[in-house]
Amino acid sequence: MIKVYGLGLSFPVNRVRMCLNAMGIDYEFIVINPLAGETQNEEYLKMSPSGKIPALDDDGFYLFESNAIMKYLCRKYNSDFYPADIVEQAHVDKWLDFIGAHLTNGLAKVFFNKVVAGLIDVEADEKSMEEGYGYLKRFMRVIEDQLGATAYIAGDKMTLADICLLATVDPFEIIDINMSDYPNTKAWASKLMNEPFYKKVHNSYKETLDTVMAG
């Protein structure tokens, strides 16, 4: 059985979990906490040399980086979430790269300083957090405009780009981003958050964070 290593707070980990859920693939989710140094042992570093999450173990085949994992899974199971058509695939790749390069980097700056810093008892970097908010404000306008033109981020059907984006905007409530400022994105996200592939991860990102804080 496929094994996914990670933590429920991680948006890249949740991308992979949502992808597997959407394809109906059984897998084992193994909780491993990088904040506690659990990704630095020799065994884990064989799967993910950077010591980051997620990591995939598919019967001894190891893979890291969430977008690479999702593409691999779609190719293995012939899923249309990563289309075979070269033009359609290019549109998905374009948005995966955009989300990774701009939104995820901005989110990581904000999330670390607003949430993670408190969990590991380090001082927040206010300048870094401000930069992150700036990135998100700038690049979410591109997402908002696209979702005003198409039902899904890469066109008229759900793809890996939507799964990637959904896991990325999932923590926005936690970091005090008002989704009402992005009505097209809010409507799109609300629809997908009611789908089983999302609900099998959690009912909301806040639910997962509250569980971690309580534990």
Query: Which of the pair, 215 or 148, is modelled with greater confidence?
Result: 148
Give yes or no for a contact between 163 and 18, defined as CB atoms under 8 angstroms apart.
yes
* DSSP element (H, E) containing 119: helix 117-119
Mean pLDDT over residues 62-88, rounded? Answer: 97
Report residue 215's pLDDT band, with 50, 70 and 90 as the boundaries.
low
Q: Could you give the angle at the alpha carbon of 40 between the alpha carbons of 35 and 74, nearest 5°?
A: 85
Average confidence (pLDDT) over 93-100: 98
pLDDT for 161 equals 98
CA 34 to chain CA centroid, Å, is: 16
Q: What is the pTM of this model?
A: 0.96
Residue 195 is assigned to a structural domain of this protein? yes
CATH number of the domain where residue 41 is located: 3.40.30.10
The verdict on residue 69 lying in a domain is yes
- Does residue 135 fall inside a structural domain? yes
Within this chain, do residues 107 and 27 fall inside the same structural domain, yes or no?
no
CA distance 173 to 162: 18
- The percent of residues above 70 in pLDDT, for the chain, comes to 100
Q: Which residues contact 146 (CB under 8 A, 6 or more apart)?
A: 153
Residue 70 and residue 111 in one domain: no
Mean confidence (pLDDT) of the chain: 96
User: How does residue 119 score in pLDDT terms, banded at 50, 70 and 90?
Assistant: confident
Claim to verify: residue 105 and residue 183 sit in the same structural domain: yes
Confidence check: pLDDT of 20 > 90: yes
> Is residue 171 assigned to a domain?
yes
Confidence band, pLDDT 50/70/90 cuts, at residue 58: very high
d(CA 168, CA 162): 10
Examine residue 215 and state whether it is found in any structural domain, yes or no. Answer: no
In a domain, 81, yes or no: no
Residue-wise pLDDT tens digits, 22-43: 999 999 999 999 988 999 999 9
pLDDT tens column, 144-165: 999 999 999 999 999 999 999 9
Domain membership of residue 190 as a residue range? 86-210
Closest among 71, 129, 142 to 102, alpha carbons compared: 142
Q: Please report where in the chains the tokens 């995939």 appear, as a residue.
A: 56
The CATH number covering residue 162 comes to 1.20.1050.10
pLDDT value for 207 = 93
Structural domain contains residue 102: yes
> What is the C-alpha to C-alpha distance for residues 42 and 45, in angstroms, rounded to an integer?
5
Beta strand segments in the chain, E: 2-6, 27-31, 55-58, 61-64
Residues 30 and 6 in one domain: yes
User: Cis omega before residue 83 (within 30°)?
Assistant: no
- What share of the chain in percent tops pLDDT 90? 93
